[in-house]
Structure 1
Amino acid sequence: MANLVSLERATVVRGTTTVLDAISTGVGTGERIGVVGRNGGGKSTLLRVLAGTLEVDGGRAVRGGSVTVGMLAQADDLDPAHTVREAVLGGLDEHEWAGDARIRDVLAGLLGGLDAPGVGGLDALVGPLSGGERRRTALARLLVSDPDLLLLDEPTNHLDVEGVAWLARHLTTARTRPDSALVAVTHDRWFLDAVATTTWEVQEGEVASYEGGYAAYVLAKAERARMAAVVAERRDNLLRKELAWLRRGAPARTSKPRFRIDAANALIEDEPAPRDTVELVRFATTRLGKDVVDLEGVSVELGDRRILDRVTWRLGPGDRIGIVGVNGAGKSTLLRALTGDVPLTAGRRKVGKTVRFAFLTQEVRELDALGDRRVIAAVEDVRQYTTLGGKEVSASQLAQRLGFTGARQQTRVSDLSGGERRRLQLLRLLMTEPNVLILDEPTNDLDVETLTSLEDVLDGFGGTLLVVSHDRYLLERVADKQVALLGDGKLLDLVGGVEQYLALVEQGAVVRREVPVAPAAGGEAAGRRPDAAAMSAVPAVSAADVRAARKELARVEKALARLAEREQRLHARMAEASSAGEHGALVDLAREQQELDTEKDDLEAAWLEAAETAG
């Protein structure tokens, strides 16, 4: 393995802060290195030193003369006057890139969304693109160029779950040249585990290297911490013995049992599960009662597009649900329908009497009004104490758990970084003591250490939790089940979790059909009050109509009961297929589930219509 870049006692100083302190490391051919560490700890600085765009203040960085280096920074340098084709493919002739399977894979995996009607595909101008589209365009340009050393700074930003899965697969299968290497700064732990063969942790100016991805890094770090604790304990014991000898003279030797450990098993054998699900559900039921939020036959339209189509979804106390879906499928709309912030075109929303929502949106502008306040004051303004995991914690204690140490709690809100503002926003929400917590992309701007602390806090949340995120690790860590919006207005339970969702996307089982907008009863759209003429035109309901409607109700209720039994058997088959890793069978069962959902929706619509007539 030859070195592409070597750092020898490299030092970078900013003002009075030493960002990198005499580090010696290197990147060899064939390596895929993931970089983790706290925000502001020097990860991006390290990447720029490797790229050669930042000179070191001490030591040296050595690169091979013929090594090509490409870097994805957090801000792109795309020319707004160029088309996407010019930005990504440069001067390549069509026969060159069209005949290259690797380039076609990049275009399909990253720029498929640009082919949507009205966007313009490869001929779209870069200038009007959104931030996410520009990010994907810059990443596509870099992957097409295929440099020897690929440096990526937060490559999963603006990518959804399937986009992250595609990128991981591309980097591990398409970039197979033995003379190439990859270094990626990322907070996406699933991506880190899927891609990295080595993990670097940047902390306090130093770089510690761990073999393997995120899981191996966590284990190795825990073992190092345990060994350090053992050494410290031995040193303290020696000092105590020495002091005792000075006071009393040398005591007789005593034997002590030796501490032994068998790798990970010994580290976790006495560790309880991350959360006590039964206890949390009991606590949630006490706070919420049996009813939380029910959506019954709900439809939501934006313009001429139906985002949600006759969705029925019931949330119970203590439910912990992760939501995934294709971009634009309506994930945020679904959350706003639950909270009542978006009007329903059809159906109804039922909310329990004791429900208290807290909604972490993707905006942090609400903190602008608190710019002159200290962090701890901004938290205590909401409440000074709260209950978490059955214990009372103070605002200061909770702030410390989410990364605001003693000194940082006195920082003005206006001086906080983007990640710190995100943490403060969540802190203030938790202090309101909600019993239904909704998080829309909570991982934005958070580093791995903060994400771990956030998950620890959420483990003790005794209420109903809904999370929308492209961070697969977070979804599988904090949620007990996942649901998906596949772009057809329907909500699908994912018995097989995120893996099932990715299998559906990959196998083309995602249904993308135009849903006809059905008029509401009487020809009036839901939410509009019919005028007097329209009301007078509605015919009276006869006694015969009422009797027929009641018979229809009885028929539909029996059909729904039979359907519920079929659905239960189907879920059992899906669980068996998921545990056996039979993705083909899962796709077939998912289609059957969608057909069953359609039949169920039709029956529920018939029930509602008959119930309206029967009174």
Structure 2
Amino acid sequence: MAHLLGAENLHLEYPTRIIFDAVTIGVNEGDRIGIVGRNGDGKSTLLSLLSGRIQPDGGRVTVRGGVRIGMLDQSDVLDPTLTVGQAIVGDTEEYIWAGDPLIRDVIDGLIRDIPWDSVIGSLSGGQRRRVALAALLVGDWDCVFLDEPTNHLDVEGIAWLAEHLKNRWGRTSGGLLVVTHDRWFLDEVCNATWEVHDRIIEPFEGGYAAYILQRVERDRMASASEAKRQNLMRKELAWLRRGAPARTAKPKFRIDAANQLIENEPPARNTVQLSQMATSRLGKDVVDILDVGVSYGDKQVLRDVEWRIAPGERTGILGVNGAGKSTLLGLITGEVQPTTGRVKHGKTVKVATLSQELAELVEHANDRVSDVVALKRTSYVTGGKEMTPSQLLERLGFSSAQLQTPVKDLSGGQRRRLQLLLILLDEPNVLVLDEPSNDLDTDMLAAMEDLLDSWPGTLIVVSHDRYLMERVTDQQYAIFDGQLRHLPGGVDQYLALRKQTEDASTAPSASLAASSSTPGNTVPAPTGSLGGAEKRNAEKELSATERKIAKLGETLTATQLRLATHDQGDYAGLNLIMQETTALESTIAELEESWLELSELLG
């Protein structure tokens, strides 16, 4: 594969610290690289170095002649006096850009809800961000750098962006470098991962899941090596004296070692134990939303909502912006009163909200972290173990030195973690998380998820971070046309239903009527119109399909693990495993489509 750009012996330092030291990396045609690491370790700085926006103190960056690099950074660079159309296509005539399928796809995927003639200065921050991303993606670039592109995108927007980037270039052309905390996106798009840490860049093969597997194995090997160094020095010395050959080959992951790593790990949550603890803390009644409707003036946001929230329930809420997710959360917390119906809260319910505004920290801006924590509890029990607030802070990524830092001097991610800790120390039994992944890197998201795994209360999550939602919740609901709908098929079902809704709204009614009356076409019976025998047969088929999907899902997971752990030099073997993976994914997709059709049929 042809070389696009590279860096040799990069060195960059600021007055107080060194960011990179003697870093050498390269980007080739076909590379789709996800960049991960702790906040502040240099991920965004790396993109700026490679794009030429900043110059290194040592070493050099070289770009192959003629290579065009486009970059989306986190700063707002749009001219506020331009219209949306001018910012995206400039002065290009409409008949030209409207005839370009790439431009039409980008506009439809990112800004279809933003008026074309709106002035940039009148848009919200999230809208400006989407316009900036669209303006970049309509360009013809050989290499694209994206710094947190999923910020301000909903689940549908993130899915669209992933599909766009997968299809933007041929498999062995183009280059992508992306910094994001969205782990689903990393897995969906990237074929390599760079971890930025301790002044270096460590490359890994594969997306986020493969990176985690390799990192766990690396740490396990490092731990084993340290234990061997400390406890078996004489054996090692004897081994060395016998003239053991040097190990110069790169270590390969073995499938049995990878399986052992996973098999020895217990499930993330003991759902039975957590349910028992939640019931003892909450009783049987949590929040009952009974035939509720909410209207603001003439606009009805929610209607006919029936939801009895159980103790220990862990639920994710999906929906487009403006669908009514915040209103639904307000009903749970008591901040919103229903227009019709009623909301009943259990007597022992204590609700807390991890909001996007960090309101809990405003009054403590000038206080030190240790003083703020001391105002709460002196101990906290998690996972059956009693921990001090300092230990909890350490678990959430704070160093002992940071305990003396004023809250106002913390980074966005640190304030987010402190906010979560203060809420947990108040010991609520119903926790509402409203976009909890904002400002957190992947390691801190994993730490937060680990902490929530042992939290024995009712958890309600609204998030565009698909990985986090699927990780910490056990079921998902969506708001469609003001009504709450259960999603047994999770986020995939939500995206499929959204696509069906959009297709139905754009398809001409006449063509639909004609197609339904065409001989040979089988029109599904309306929901609820199945006879007894038909319904039983459909239920049996639905159950069988679910079992097939689950079984094939396990097979696919094992196959993906084989792919991640296979000898990367064995191209023929890798190709066979990839073909097997593709076939499994295609079969599962077909079964999921059948499952959705049956679910719709049964209502």
Match of 1:105, SS state, is helix
Q: Kindly state the Cα deviation for residue 15 of structure 1 after the two structures are TM-superposed.
A: 0.9
Provide Cα deviations, 1:322-355, integer angstroms capped at 9, x if missing partner: 1111111011110111111012101111111111
Report the CA distance between 1:241 and its aligned residue: 6.7
SS in 2 for 1:347: strand
Structure 2, unaligned stretches of length 5 or more?
Answer: 239-253, 507-527, 550-587
Q: Does 1:419 align with 2:428?
A: no
The secondary structure found in structure 2 opposite 1:122 is coil
Distance 1:304 1:78 in 2: 36
3-state SS of 1:423 partner: helix
Bigger drift between 31-40 and 577-586 goes to 577-586
SS, match of residue 112 in structure 1: coil
| Matched ranges for 1:63-78 at <5 A | 63-78=63-78
Residue number in structure 2 paired with 1:86: 86
**Change in CA separation of 1:233 and 1:507 when aligned onto 2, cut-off 3 Å:** same
CA distance in 1, matches of 2:334, 2:384: 30
Contact 1:507 1:587 in 2 (8 A): no
Q: For residue 511 of structure 1, report the CA deviation from its aligned partner.
A: 8.8
1:401 aligned partner? 395
Counterpart CA distance in 2 for 1:234 and 1:484 is 52
**Residue 217 of structure 1 aligns with which residue?**
211
* Corresponding residue for residue 10 of structure 1: 10
Match 1:500 to one of 493, 504, 529? 493
Structure 2 vs 1, CA of residues 375 and 510 (structure 1 numbering), >3 Å: closer, same or farther?
A: farther
Residue of structure 2 equivalent to 1:555: none
> What SS is found at the alignment partner of 2:138?
helix
Deviation per residue, 1:263-286 (Å, 9 max, x gap): 311112221111100000011111
Between 1:14-23 and 1:276-285, the stretch displaced more is 14-23
Against the structure 1 CA distance between its residues 289 and 304, is the aligned structure 2 distance closer, same or farther, given a 3 Å change threshold? same
C-alpha separation in 2, matches of 1:407 and 1:387: 24
The Cα offsets for residues 307-335 of structure 1, whole Å up to 9 and x where unpaired, read as 11020101111101011111110111101
1:142 aligns with 2:151: no
Deviations 1:20-55 (A, max 9, x none): 111000111111000000011100000000110010
1:197-346 alignment runs, 5 A limit: 197-239=191-233, 262-346=256-340
Moved more, 175-184 or 323-332: 175-184
User: CA offset at residue 239 of structure 1?
Assistant: 3.5
Corresponding residue SS for 1:306: strand
Please say if residues 70 and 149 of structure 1, whose CA atoms lie closer than 8 Å, have aligned partners that are also in contact: yes
Residues 1:304 and 1:573: Cα distance change in structure 2 (over 3 Å): farther
Shift of 1:590: 5.2
1:113 is paired with a residue of what secondary structure? coil
The secondary structure found in structure 2 opposite 1:267 is helix
Residue in structure 2 matching 1:166, options 160, 163, 166: 160
1:512 Cα shift?
8.4
Q: Is the 8 A contact 1:495 1:574 kept in 2?
A: no
Query: Alpha carbons of 1:214 and 1:134: their partners in 2 closer, same or farther (altered >3 Å)?
Result: same
Q: Give, in whole Å, the separation in 2 of the partners of 1:573 and 1:439.
A: 37
Indicate the larger mover: 377-386 or 80-89.
377-386
Cα distance between partner residues in 2 of 1:574 and 1:102: 38
Q: 1:489 aligns with which of 476, 482, 501?
A: 482
Match of 2:27 in 1: 27
* Aligned positions of 1:599-610 closer than 5 A: none
SS of equivalent to 1:322? strand
- How many Å separate the matches in 2 of 1:567 and 1:290? 33
Partner SS, residue 33 of structure 1: strand
1:81-101 CA deviation, whole Å, 9 max, x = no partner? 111111001132222222221
The match for 2:247 is none
Q: Where does residue 359 of structure 1 map in the other structure?
A: 353
Distance 1:317 1:342, change over 3 A: same
Change (3 A) 1:279 1:326: same
Change (3 A) 1:209 1:567: farther
Could you tell me how far 1:408 is from its partner in structure 2? 1.8
CA-CA distance at 1:575 after TM superposition: 6.0
Q: Does the residue aligned with 1:194 lie in a helix, a strand or coil?
A: helix
Structure 1 residue 583 displacement after superposition: 4.0
Pair 1:48-2:48 in alignment: yes
Larger mean CA deviation between 285-294 and 387-396 belongs to 387-396
Task: Work out the CA distance in 1 between the residues paired with 2:539 and 2:121.
Answer: 47
Determine the C-alpha separation between the residues in 1 that align with 2:592 and 2:502.
Answer: 12
How far has the Cα of 1:379 moved from its partner? 1.8
Pair 1:431-2:402 in alignment? no
| Contact 1:495/1:575 (8 A) holds in 2 | no
Distance of aligned partners of 1:364 and 1:575 in 2 relative to their CA distance in 1, 3 Å threshold: farther
**RMSD after superposition:** 2.7
Q: Report the counterpart of residue 456 of structure 2 in structure 1.
A: 462
Q: Is the 8 A contact 1:301 1:345 kept in 2?
A: yes
Q: Secondary structure at the match of 1:407?
A: helix
Task: Provide the rounded CA distance (Å) in 1 between the counterparts of 2:314 and 2:156.
Answer: 22
1:444 and 2:438 correspond: yes
Q: Letter of the aligned partner of 1:490 in structure 2? A: Q
The CA distance in 1 between the partners of 2:536 and 2:176, in whole Å, is 46
The corresponding residue for 2:561 is: none
- 1:587–1:91: structure 2 CA closer, same or farther, 3 Å change rule? farther
The SS at the match of 2:85 is helix
Q: Residues of 1 paired with 2:101 and 2:95: CA distance?
A: 12
Q: 3-state SS of the aligned residue for 1:362?
A: coil
Distance in 2, Cα, partners of 1:47 & 1:174: 20
TM-score with structure 1 length normalisation? 0.81
Secondary structure, aligned partner of 1:162: helix
The equivalent residue for 2:169 is: 175
Matching residue's letter, 2:370: I
Paired letter, 1:174: R
Residues 5, 28 of structure 1: 8 Å contact kept: yes
The structure with more radius of gyration = 1
Match of 1:131 among 105, 125, 133: 125
Query: Following TM superposition, by how much is the alpha carbon of 1:510 offset from its aligned partner in structure 2, in angstroms?
Result: 8.9
In the alignment, is residue 195 of structure 1 matched against residue 189 of structure 2? yes
- Where 2:326 maps in the other structure, the secondary structure is helix
Return the alpha-carbon distance in structure 1 between the equivalents of residues 367 and 543 of structure 2: 51
Structure 2: distance between partners of 1:87 and 1:28: 30
Contact 1:503 1:583 in 2 (8 A): no
1:261 to 1:144, Cα distance in 2 relative to 1, 3 A: closer
4+ aligned runs moved over 6 Å, structure 1: 240-244, 509-513, 566-573
Structure-2 residue corresponding to 1:588: 597
Residue correspondences, number: 526
**CA 240–72 in structure 1, closer or farther in 2 if over 3 Å, else same:** same
Residue ranges of structure 1 left out of the alignment (5+ in a row): 115-120, 245-259, 514-559, 597-615
Residues 93 and 447 of structure 1, relative CA distance in 2, 3 Å threshold: same
Q: Secondary structure at the match of 2:455?
A: coil
Percent identical pairs in the alignment equals: 52
What CA distance in whole angstroms lies between the structure 2 residues aligned with 1:510 and 1:290?
A: 42
* CA spacing shift, 1:568–1:484, aligned 2, 3 Å: farther
| Partner in structure 2 of residue 478 of structure 1 | 472
Structure 1 residues 351, 39: CA separation in 2 closer, same or farther (over 3 Å shift)? Answer: same
The alignment partner of 2:400 has SS state of: coil
Does the C-alpha gap of structure 1 residues 267 and 584 become closer, same or farther in structure 2, counting only changes over 3 Å? closer
How far apart in 2 are the matches of 1:289 and 1:197? 48
Q: Following TM superposition, by how much is the alpha carbon of 1:235 offset from its aligned partner in structure 2, in angstroms?
A: 1.4
3-state SS, counterpart of residue 120 of structure 2: coil
The answer (yes or no) to whether the contact 1:496–1:575 under 8 Å persists in 2 is no
